[in-house]
Structure 1
Amino acid sequence: MKLELVSLLRCPQSGQRLQLEPGATLISQNGEVENGWLVTEDGSHRYPIRDAIPRFVPESNYANNFGMQWNHFAKTQLDSYSGHPISFERFWNATGWQPTALNGQWVLDVGCGSGRFAEIALDAGANVVALDYSSAADACYANLKHYSGLHVIQGDIYALPFAPESFTFIYSLGVLQHTPDVAKAFEALPPKLAPGGSVCADFYWNRLITLLNPKYLLRPITKRVDQEKLFAWLVAKVPSLLRMSQIIGSIPLVGRFLKRAVPVVDYTGVYPLSPKQLEEWALLDTFDMLAPAYDNPQSAPTIMRWFRNAGLTNVEVFHWGHLVGRANKPLSS
């Protein structure tokens, strides 16, 4: 943890400022705090810093599958690893932000996973606070710790450990639908946004074609299966399921619709990935499809209402891969 982050942190239980308890160990080469404790001003609450990451949540929680997933596929969706600007294009098209606007600004990535979007914001020169509820925070730190602007936190979206209005930009991509209460999760974001700042979040779209996805027939079973066993089963089955999807998908006119019945994520013809990468992405996102404890698609009117009820302006809701909402916080109320 870099010392400059402390000024932004607040106790998620009391709202008090946090300070570094004496006796913390430093990583000498860059001055980061490797291990130690953050303590409130009155000493009533303490939070560990472990492996350079402040920890504000229990080690075991409903997002355990995501921690397993992103530590196993730590680099898969990083553009710097895949060699394709897949995360780059999704990030800038969803947010609508300009790279120059992020330079030197404090940016909050809620649900960072292994850091696929944090990498894009860091490349734009932002100071990125990458937060994840799961141990995916460790994968993000391992992947991106060479960036001077990276700050990783393991924390809870329902109890964000930051001072109000700390961030000029906030985004949460591919995350909120996997929380227990999506509306409450979104409501946590605007209070941390600075006046004049911008927020962007995307969601699975609650429409008929989404609800016909076979995952909604399988998830009542698969989400209850031991995650290690489910993953092992998918390792064995995804290659054949992917080939089946590719064969069906090649049928003229109707193939791209029929292949939806195959319970595998198939990016053939969508992204310019190699056969090996297609299989790796299929395994990653099929596990992501079947394992989460929560999967709650939303409608466009619902998202519009959430953004407007939060007092945000210039609200836009549109489809770009997912159902995207973005807006600004007024300079004054």
Structure 2
Amino acid sequence: MTKSVFQDPDAGQALYWSPSGEALSSEDGEMTYALDKGVIRLLPKKEGEGLSSFDYQDHYQKDAEAFDYFASWEDPAAVHENERLHQMILAQAPKQVKRVLDVGCGSAWVAAHFANQGVEVYSMDISTVNPEKAVGRYPFEGHYGVVADVFHLPFQESTFDLIVASEIIEHVADPALFLEKLLPALAPGGVMVVTTPHAEKLAYSLCIHCNQPTPHHAHLHSFTATSIRELLPVPLRAGARTSTFMNKVLLHARTHVLLKHFPFSLWRLVDRVANVIIPKTARLMLVVRR
């Protein structure tokens, strides 16, 4: 039997594709998860660590239903910012990538990048909506939609050459546990890339339904290079790398009109120089190599 990629999110038993490719089952056949609309649902059946005081699975299901992550951006400045963010992440990828995990897949831009390159891409989200749309929009061989929870990660250890968790960690209740759960799935020589707003000033509004302070954009945490590195297990901190980028002055000055024509290397140089002159950065990146 070939090496398993998946595991049961509760028991941790290896799961294998059926001969028809329409279900995942444990070797003894006691646990089976059927493929539905091109997506495999591997959410835990029991509560456990990492759960916050509210039902975040229900929240992000409703979020994905209310907000179309696949819709085109209307603001050209936002389009440019997003493209540069993606380029920064992809620049960290190892030379040889065979299998990628996109955590909180959103618009599935990771799948779009690796489509038809012979790379397996696992577009994972806690909602059912985004993985379904991901495999529907990018139906290439080796693209899998997975509904799952990082705190009950349904993947075997040493599985992925690249793990991307872009703009996710600020949303989770326990960021340190979030990283702790992802790291074992990283293969030897693999890279995990985490991005988040840099030193964000969290803002709150009073919710009209629960009458409690509610964070804007569901951002629960703000990070600096030091604080995000300290979330890692001690043995990994020294080898981890952090960087800040995306100068706010350049963003607010609408310089995308000119900078969108620059190749990535030249844009990165301009951004670095701007950050030396006026150190106001919008994004923080953590890179962990195993």
TM-score where L is the length of structure 2: 0.69
Deviation at 1:8, TM superposition (A): 0.8
Quote the residue 1:50 is aligned against.
36
Deviation at 1:308, TM superposition (A): 5.2
Residue type of the alignment partner of 1:143: R
For the pair 1:40 / 2:30, whether they are aligned, the reply is no
Say if 1:308 and 1:315, in contact at 8 Å, map to a contact too: no
1:308 to 1:57, Cα distance in 2 relative to 1, 3 A: closer
Deviation at 1:87, TM superposition (A): 4.0
Structure 1 gap segments, 5+ residues each:
25-32, 226-288
Aligned length: 237
Matches within 5 A, 1:183-222: 183-207=176-200, 210-211=201-202, 216-218=203-205, 220-221=206-207
2:155 counterpart SS class:
coil
For the pair 1:114 / 2:107, whether they are aligned, the reply is yes
1:69 to 1:323, Cα distance in 2 relative to 1, 3 A: farther
1:184 to 1:310, Cα distance in 2 relative to 1, 3 A: farther
Give the whole-Å Cα distance in 1 for the aligned partners of 2:84 and 2:194.
15
Alpha-carbon displacement from aligned partner over 1:186-216 (angstroms, at most 9, x marks no partner) = 1111100011111110123345xx23xxxx2
Give the whole-Å Cα distance in 2 for the aligned partners of 1:37 and 1:124.
25
Q: 1:11 aligns with which of 8, 31, 42?
A: 8
Structure 2 gap segments, 5+ residues each:
46-56, 246-281
2:232 counterpart SS class:
helix
Deviation at 1:16, TM superposition (A): 1.3
Quote the residue 2:136 is aligned against.
142
Say if 2:229 and 2:237, in contact at 8 Å, map to a contact too: no
Deviation at 1:45, TM superposition (A): 2.8
Q: Percent of aligned pairs with the same residue?
A: 21
Say if 2:105 and 2:125, in contact at 8 Å, map to a contact too: yes
Matches within 5 A, 1:148-297: 148-207=141-200, 210-211=201-202, 216-218=203-205, 220-221=206-207, 290=216, 292=218, 295-297=220-222
Quote the residue 2:70 is aligned against.
74
Q: 2:229 aligns with which of 304, 309, 313?
A: 304
More strand by share: 2
Quote the residue 1:92 is aligned against.
87
TM-score where L is the length of structure 1: 0.61
Say if 2:92 and 2:193, in contact at 8 Å, map to a contact too: no
Give the whole-Å Cα distance in 2 for the aligned partners of 1:151 and 1:310.
32
Give the whole-Å Cα distance in 2 for the aligned partners of 1:66 and 1:114.
13
Give the whole-Å Cα distance in 1 for the aligned partners of 2:194 and 2:16.
31
